[in-house]
Structure formats: C-alpha cells, structure tokens
C-alpha cells in the first residue's frame, strides 16, 4: 500500500493524511525529511537540534493535517522549518544583529505559484499593518512567531481574554478584506500558526 502511495502528488497525500491515513503521511515524511533537515542544518549546524526541529515540525503537521489547508506543501514546509530554526535561535538570546541576518536567509524554491503567493502575502501584510499597534503585535506573535495565546498574555502582560479579543478582531478585519478561502490559504495554509 505504501509503495503505491509513493507516486501520489502532495495534494493527494495531504487529502489522505487529513483523513487519518498514516501511510500517506509516512510518504510525505519520507519525501521531505531529508531536504528539511539539510535546509535546517544550513541555517544552524547542530545535527541533534536540527533533527529535533524537523521531527517537531512533522508532529505539528500530523496534528493539524485534518483541519489545515496547505496550498503548496513543499513551500509551506520550508518556510515552517526556517521559522522553527529561527525561533530556536531566538531562545538562545542572540543579538538583534544575528536575528536580522537570519531573517534574510532565503527559502529555496522559486516556482510561479510561490511568486503569486508572495504577492498575495504582501497584500495581506499591508492589511495587517493597518491594525491597531497592540492588535497587530498580538496577531504577529500568534500567527507569525508561533506563540500560544497564554505565552502572548505573559509576554505582553495582558489577560488571555484580551489576547483572544485582539486575534478575533484581527481575523474579523482580514475576513472583511479577503474571502474565507484566501484568508485560510494565508493564515492556515502557509502559517497555520498554531
């Protein structure tokens, strides 16, 4: 059965894995584990840490697969692994200069779909920049930097209810400017965050 699934496209595998098919997910894992590990290692040369980060990414992917809408799996995984490595490095208390360098690391892959997504992403980010400063800060911590609502509340010294309200307001604002499909493609698809 697994051998037959190897020829399936990412979209077909995602659909099967989203319905709980573990073998389809194993094919995704086999297809992307090595490239993700190599990419993580190119950013942060620690074998054990990179292995853990890739493993964590796949655990997150499996847990969220039933409800996630991922338009381009390879692009999503490369972007997600980059952010996970950066978040690991942030936890090591690097200087802002180090973090700025990390942010400039490019993600390999330049398909037409990626270029179209990047244009759409810029449009969404322009709308996010129109949110109130606190709402924007909460939304970015939640959707771009992978903080949980509880972590955001602690970090910003605000209540959990306030965090949830800011996220709700941001999503409502974005829904008013994008249809649900576009919004889920951005917020859930590339940043299911989390």
Among 194, 167, 186, 191, residue whose Cα is nearest residue 82: 191
Which one is predicted more confidently, 182 or 18?
18
Distance, CA of 94 to chain centre:
22
Q: What are phi and psi of 21, to 5 degrees?
A: -80, 105
Contacts of 14 (CB under 8 A, 6+ apart): 24, 28, 65, 70, 73
Joined together, the tokens standing for residue 136 give 């924007």
Instruction: Output the pLDDT for position 97.
Output: 61
Q: How much is the mean pLDDT over the chain? A: 79
Q: Among 164, 103, 175, 161, which residue's Cα sits nearest to residue 139?
A: 164
CA dist., res. 33 & res. 39, Å (int): 10
CA distance 45 to 184: 34
pLDDT at 156: 92
Cα–Cα distance for residue pair 111/14, rounded to 1 Å? 20
Q: How confident is the model at residue 46 (pLDDT cuts 50, 70, 90)?
A: confident
Please check the confidence at residue 185 and state whether its pLDDT lies above 80: no
123 versus 57: which is more confidently predicted? Answer: 57
Report yes or no on whether pTM surpasses 0.75. Answer: no
Query: What confidence score (pLDDT) does residue 109 get?
Result: 53
Closest C-alpha to 62, from 28, 35, 11, 30: 28
* Domains annotated on the chain, with CATH: 1-109 (1.10.1740.10), 110-194 (1.10.10.10)
- Average pLDDT value for residue range 141-164: 85
- Alpha carbons 16 and 8: distance in angstroms, whole number: 10
Residue 10: pLDDT band with limits 50, 70, 90: confident
- Taking the C-alpha atoms of residue 173 and residue 127, their distance in angstroms, rounded to an integer, is 9
Given the structure tokens 């200069």, which residue do they identify?
A: 97
pLDDT at 26 over 90: yes
By the 10 Å C-beta count (0-12 exposed, 13-18 middle, 19+ buried), 147 is classed as buried
Using CA atoms, how far apart are residues 160 and 166, in angstroms rounded to an integer?
A: 10
Q: Please choose, from the candidates 83, 48, 64, the residue with its C-alpha nearest in 3D space to the C-alpha of residue 28.
A: 64
The confidence score (pLDDT) of residue 69 equals 76
Helix (H) or strand (E) holding 50: helix 47-64
pLDDT at 190: 41
Instruction: Work out the pLDDT band at 32, boundaries 50, 70, 90.
Output: very high
Q: For residue 15, is pLDDT > 50?
A: yes
Q: Dump pLDDT digits (tens) for 76-116.
A: 898 888 888 888 877 765 556 655 665 666 555 544 455 55
């Amino acid at each position: 059965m697994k051998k037959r699934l190897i020829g399936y496209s990412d979209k077909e595998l995602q659909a099967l894995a989203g319905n709980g098919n573990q073998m389809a997910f194993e094919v995704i894992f086999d297809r992307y584990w090595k490239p993700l590990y190599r990419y993580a290692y190119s950013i942060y040369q620690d074998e054990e840490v990179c292995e853990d980060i890739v493993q964590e990414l796949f655990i997150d992917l499996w847990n969220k697969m039933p409800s996630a809408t991922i338009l381009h799996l390879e692009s999503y995984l490369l972007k997600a692994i980059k952010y996970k490595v950066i978040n690991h490095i942030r936890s090591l208390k690097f200087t802002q200069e180090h973090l700025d360098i990390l942010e400039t690391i490019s993600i390999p892959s330049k398909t037409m779909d990626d270029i179209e997504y990047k244009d759409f992403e810029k449009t969404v980010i322009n709308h996010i920049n129109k949110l109130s400063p606190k709402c924007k800060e909460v939304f970015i911590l939640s959707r771009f930097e992978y903080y949980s609502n509880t972590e955001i509340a602690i970090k910003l010294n605000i209540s959990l209810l306030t965090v949830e309200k800011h996220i709700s307001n941001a999503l409502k604002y974005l829904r008013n400017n994008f249809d649900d499909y576009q919004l889920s493609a951005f917020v859930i698809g590339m940043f299911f965050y989390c």
